[in-house]
Amino acid sequence: MPHCLHLVEMINFITRHFTSLWALITSPFRAIWRIISRIFPPREFTVMDTPRGNVYTFKQSSFWRFTKFCGKIGLFIWAAWSTYVFIYHRPLLQKRTQQLEQARAQHARQMTDLQVYLAKFNDLTRSLNVTDDKILNAKKLSDEEKENLINARLKTWGELDFLRTRVSEIFTDDEYTPEYAKLSELSAEYELTRSENEELKKRNAAIVESMQAVVAADTEIIDTVSALAADKTEELRRDLKKINATIATLGLSERALVAKANKYTNPLVGAAFSPLEIDKSLDPKYQKLADDLELWHGLARLHTILPIGAPVKQMRITSNYGMRKDPFDGKQKRHRGIDFAGKIGTELMAVAPGRVVSAGERVGYGTTVEIDHGLGFTTLYAHLSQITVSRGDWVRPGTVVGLGGSSGRSTGPHLHYEIRYKGAQFDPAKFVKE
């Protein structure tokens, strides 16, 4: 009877608070969904289609927002778990793989040894049987022969015992190392090595022959280039020999000028010359050749840079460098250049590549042009009637820089021509007279 009362009370409670049994069963789920709906309430958002001017309203339900949240949480958990597995378990997997490969290699070595031991065991067993047969069936054996057979039998038993020990070690010793290797593999390696050695010997012989040919060709080339460098050097020296005395009065030497010429650079002469660097451990002939080439190149550049030659086509000198009677007051004065006879309008030419550093009037000189040729040498053209170049121009040999005239302190049409070294005049006669 009490049980019936309890059952009635329970039914009354259910009918009072729930409309049906299904409502009672689903009530916890509906309570959970109400909590979820509070956390993820529905949302509305508006999107404007600017080109068309339309406005669209979209609504996200609680279920949709909760589903997206669960998806993000699941994605985050999956990413975290994948990272953990990759960082922690991957090295373990690699380690297990290495251990498996080592175990396979060790197993292969053990099987190879077992095959070798088996072949050795068969040979020893056969030898033991032969020895026993000789001992048992031989009728006439001397004591020495019997002793030899017994010793051979004992030796065979000892080798069999050794094989038993080694086989036991294969399966019981974790640090077992192979005692034997396959003779066939050793033989193959030996044959391969011998074949490679024969091939290397042939190649070495061919290389030696090639090196001998290279050495012969190298010697011939060096001798030829050295002779050519010597010939060209002597030829250039002969051309520059006439100005050696003048250069000496300026405190210069051939070696100093050659060194400066190799280092000098401009758009017309070209870049500086880089001397060859020869290993001192090599044959001295290479260093001598490098020195000869450096001298040859320096003399060639020097022949190009120095202002050697006449600035007029028809050279007729009317007054040399040095002391002379001044044409204006008749007193003895130093003439600082060379005067060339010429008419007004005579073309005056550059004698070497250089850059115009001055083009205009100068006191006493009249209309002048001054060209810098490098290495400290400049040339000056004075008393011109017209200038055909401008300051900063680069000129080549034969370029007309002006026309003859009688401007400035002059008694008649002519060219006053000077060559200067570091701004100081010197006698240019040797430079002009080729």
Domain regions of the chain by residue span: 2-57, 232-305, 317-432
Q: What is the per-residue pLDDT for 338?
A: 92
Tell me if 45 sits within 8 A of 38, measured CB to CB: no
Q: Answer yes or no: is pLDDT of 383 > 90.
A: yes
Using DSSP's 3-state secondary structure scheme, residue 266 falls into: strand
Q: How confident is the model at residue 403 (pLDDT cuts 50, 70, 90)?
A: very high
Q: Answer yes or no: is pLDDT of 377 > 90.
A: yes
Using DSSP's 3-state secondary structure scheme, residue 253 falls into: coil
CA terminus-to-terminus distance, the chain: 152
- Rounded to 10°, the helix 21-39/62-84 angle is 70
Using DSSP's 3-state secondary structure scheme, residue 12 falls into: helix
Q: What is the per-residue pLDDT for 173?
A: 66
Tell me if 346 sits within 8 A of 415, measured CB to CB: yes
Tokens of 222: 């060096």
Residue type, 266: N
Q: What is the per-residue pLDDT for 3?
A: 58
**317-432 belongs to which homologous superfamily?**
Glucose Permease (Domain IIA) (2.70.70.10)
User: What percent of the chain has pLDDT above 70?
Assistant: 86
CB atoms within 10 A of CB 311: 24
Phi, psi of 29 (to 5 degrees): -65, -40
Q: Answer yes or no: is pLDDT of 353 > 90.
A: yes
Q: What is the per-residue pLDDT for 183?
A: 45
Tell me if 412 sits within 8 A of 406, measured CB to CB: yes
Tokens of 367: 């209309």
343, 347, 353, 358 alpha-carbon torsion, rounded to 10°:
70
DSSP, residue by residue, 277-312: ---TTS-HHHHHHHHHHHHHHHHHHHHHHS--S-SS
Read off the pLDDT of each residue in 333-352 and give the average, rounded to a whole number: 90
CA 430, distance to chain mean position in Å, is 51
Tokens of 341: 């006879």
Tokens of 103: 């175990």
Beta strands in 314-393 (DSSP E): 317-319, 322-325, 332-335, 338-341, 347-349, 354-362, 366-374, 377-387
Tell me if 332 sits within 8 A of 324, measured CB to CB: yes
Nearest to 418 by CA among 319, 329, 327: 319
Average pLDDT, the chain: 80
CB atoms within 10 A of CB 269: 17
For residue 254, CA distances in Å to 228, 244, 258, 268, 306 come to 20, 8, 6, 22, 12
For residue 412, CA distances in Å to 319, 327, 416 come to 13, 11, 11
Tell me if 131 sits within 8 A of 156, measured CB to CB: yes
Q: Answer yes or no: is pLDDT of 391 > 60.
A: yes
User: pLDDT tens for residues 229-253?
Assistant: 677 777 777 777 778 878 888 888 8
CB atoms within 10 A of CB 350: 25
Q: Which residues of 206-226 are buried (b: 16+ CB within 10 A; e: fewer)?
A: eeeeeeeeeeeeeeeeeeeee
Q: Is residue 9 classed exposed, middle or buried when 0-12, 13-18 and 19+ CB atoms within 10 A define those classes?
A: exposed
Q: How confident is the model at residue 369 (pLDDT cuts 50, 70, 90)?
A: very high
User: pLDDT tens for residues 208-223?
Assistant: 887 777 777 767 776 7
Q: Which residues of 130-165 are buried (b: 16+ CB within 10 A; e: fewer)?
A: ebeebeeeeeeeeeeeeeebeebbeebeebbeebee
Q: Which of 121-130, 305-314, 348-357 has the lowest mean pLDDT?
A: 121-130
Q: What is the per-residue pLDDT for 384?
A: 93
How far apart CA 211 and CA 208 sit, in angstroms, is 5
Using DSSP's 3-state secondary structure scheme, residue 213 falls into: helix
User: pLDDT tens for residues 254-312?
Assistant: 888 888 888 888 888 888 887 777 777 777 777 777 778 888 888 888 888 899 889 99
Q: Answer yes or no: is pLDDT of 350 > 90.
A: yes
User: pLDDT tens for residues 158-205?
Assistant: 777 777 777 777 667 666 555 444 444 555 565 667 777 888 888 888
Tokens of 184: 């066939």
Q: Which of 12-16, 124-128, 138-142, 393-397 has the lowest mean pLDDT?
A: 12-16
Q: Answer yes or no: is pLDDT of 332 > 70.
A: yes
Q: Answer yes or no: is pLDDT of 422 > 60.
A: yes
Of residues 238 and 65, which shows the higher confidence score?
65
Of residues 236 and 364, which shows the higher confidence score?
364
Q: What is the per-residue pLDDT for 103?
A: 77
